[in-house]
Amino acid sequence: MVLCLISLAVGKRGSLVSGAIRGVVSVASHPFWLALDFAEESYDYAAGFVLDYHRHYREAQRLQNEFAEVTQRLSEYKELKAEQERLRVMLDFERGETMVTLLPAEIISRSLGAITIDQGRTHGVAPAMCVLAPDGAVAGVVSEVSPFNATVLTLHHPDCKIGALIERNRVRGIVRGTGQVAEAVCEMEYIDMKDQIGNGDRVVTMGTGVYPAGRPIGTVTGVEAGKTLQKKARVQPDADLASLDEVFVITQALVPADEMRGQPRPQGAVSRAYPMPDERSPQERYAP
């Protein structure tokens, strides 16, 4: 107002004064306008950053959940494919077996040298029945039976004893577990010192007692001479006992079931074979 009065007194036009005032005000307020614009742009950037962060975070969470679901489905698919392959192998083996009746069973628990299967007395399982891996290799023998499940002693268990022979030259012995599950081997005992046996020899069931003849047990990996007139061999089982998920139980065979379960022979059936282990004296065994 003072400037306006001065302009009136000197006879100058008020527009010049107002223009000068606007120029001064514009120059003086310019930094504030810049600061205001910067604050507004910063607010918009910060607000957009926060909103975009939450949006991208929710998107990342959604993608992570979808990835976990796809991974789970892929794992289930691989498991189903592996199970289908195992069942196909079991089906092919079962179709090719004409000498025995096989009962498929699933392993439901494991312990040191023993497994529990989901078939029991109500399904026809009895103690001392033969148990095979899905490919037909010897896995163990049934030891205890309940109405709906059974306990199987595998080849790793020291109480699992199976009459066996060397396929190449029919050398006889008994295969039993060592109790050392970590080593995954068993032993063939009561081998006569004069019998020839070496690494790579195939070991099969003898065909008397628990198992039918000719069932594959494993491969000789070493021979140890004992302090007596007998020696023993280390045998690597054919069945991968640690990774078994299903097995077969032999419930019937062309040989009498009582003989398969190790029952005494009926009267009148006399065997000329010496019992295992051979309890004859050295004079009797080596005499000409």
**pLDDT tens digits along 103-153:** 889 999 988 889 999 999 998 899 988 899 988 889 999 999 999 999 999
Q: Which residue has the higher pLDDT, 11 or 215?
A: 215
The interaxial angle of helices 2-10 and 14-96, nearest 10 deg, is 140
Q: Which residue has the higher pLDDT, 9 or 275?
A: 9
Q: Which residue has the higher pLDDT, 49 or 287?
A: 49
Using only C-alpha atoms, what is the Rg of the chain? 43
Q: Which fold has domain 101-263?
A: Thrombin, subunit H (2.40.10)
CA distance 77 to 75: 5
Least confident range of 29-43, 136-150, 210-224, 231-245? 29-43
> Is the model's pLDDT at 258 over the cut of 70?
no
Per the DSSP assignment, residues forming a β-bridge with 237 are: 218
Q: What is the amino acid identity at position 53?
A: Y
> Model-level pTM?
0.60
pLDDT at 273: 43
pLDDT at 131: 92
Give 279's contacts (C-beta < 8 A, 6+ positions apart): none
> Is the model's pLDDT at 45 over the cut of 80?
no
Percent of the chain having pLDDT more than 70?
76
Q: Looking at residues 180-201, what average pLDDT do you find? A: 85
pLDDT at 269: 39
Q: Looking at residues 258-285, what average pLDDT do you find? A: 47
Classified as helix, coil or strand, 215 is: coil
pLDDT at 259: 46
> Is the model's pLDDT at 157 over the cut of 80?
yes
pLDDT at 196: 87
Considering all CA atoms of the chain, what is the largest pairwise distance in Å, rounded to the nearest integer? 158
> Is the model's pLDDT at 76 over the cut of 90?
no
> Is the model's pLDDT at 8 over the cut of 80?
no
Q: What is the amino acid identity at position 101?
A: T
Q: Looking at residues 81-100, what average pLDDT do you find? A: 76
Least confident range of 130-144, 151-165, 232-246, 253-267? 253-267
CA distance 42 to 138: 77
